[in-house]
Amino acid sequence: MKEQLLTKKILNWYDINKRSLPWRKSVSLQKRQYYTLVSEFMLQQTQVATVIPYFNRFIKKIPSIRILSKVDNKKLIKLWEGLGYYSRARNLKKTAQIIVKNFKGKLPDNFDDLISLPGIGNYTASAILAIGFNKPYIPLDGNIERVLKRYLYLKKERDIQKDNLVKKKSIFGTSSRSSDYAQALMELGALVCKPTNPLCTQCPVSNNCKSLKKEDFDLTKITKKNTEKYFLLKVYKKDHRYLLIKNTKFNFLKNLTIFPMEELSKPKNFNENLNFKLSNMNMNIKIQYLKNSIKFQAPFWVDEKKLDNYVLPSFTKKIVKYLEKN
């Protein structure tokens, strides 16, 4: 009964306060499922505000799973350009191809089939089933985790492990409006139960929130160490053009166009020129200017003044812009 009351309060709040997002538009069931698939891929490690214009542009150019399965790779990467984590785009297309081949072009509606698809893990599968198919799943994204941790006052590191949070989320109960309810919980975390300065006076379930009663809203985080890596980046420039290559060497930015690079295992006297945070890796980059062009396999030349004409990862564009300023 308590869970049902909790569910009702959160849904009532959502009905009044939900944001107008393009993937929440009232469309056919099949379109809603496609919108959910695309938006969930884009929202992986990317904020909503950033995703909105990319989603709108993507859906306009690629309006269905079947069209996505056949889209030209250059067009796909160009539409994704600036979002980063390009493996998401490649996995999205692979997923579309498998859906067309094995599921008659329809997004599968069960957990096991979904997690068998490229780029779809437990969270994304749960989100698709809840939002796209109205099934009673609660996807544990960062927003819902935060609500759960504060509502139950989970402070110890063992309490905030993923396995424990999966068990604890049952406190939220279920609803016949599973699609709305999953999004309501996400919205509650995004708009009210913020990482800092939560808006408790606007929270529909604040009466039973243990963190509010203790007036302690700090969140315990599991400590993750970023890997420090060092790279020598080779720059050869001729007539306003830079020499680039297709990356077949490193797992990051796989098959995308980058400057020739090599990893340094034991950097001595490494004077850091640039630092990039890529996934869970801190990239420390030292630039080496080449006087003569070295033979690279399938070199690619880009004009510094026409960067927007090329399909390049943001990482490469940032390097070019840095070089032009220094």
What residues are annotated to the active site?
A: 40
The single residue listed with the structure tokens 């796209």 is 132
Tokens 């939560």 identify what position? 198
> SS3 for 205-266, per residue?
CHHHCHHHHHCCCCCCCCCCCCEEEEEEEEECEECCEEEEEECCCCCCCCCCEECCEEEECC
CA separation for the pair 111, 118 (Å, rounded): 13
User: Could you count the other beta carbons within 10 Å of the beta carbon of residue 53?
Assistant: 11
* Residue 20: how many other CB atoms lie within 10 Å: 6
Nearest residue to 261 via CA among 325, 319, 322? 319
Secondary structure (3-state) at 95? helix
User: How many angstroms separate the CA atoms of 292 and 67, rounded?
Assistant: 44
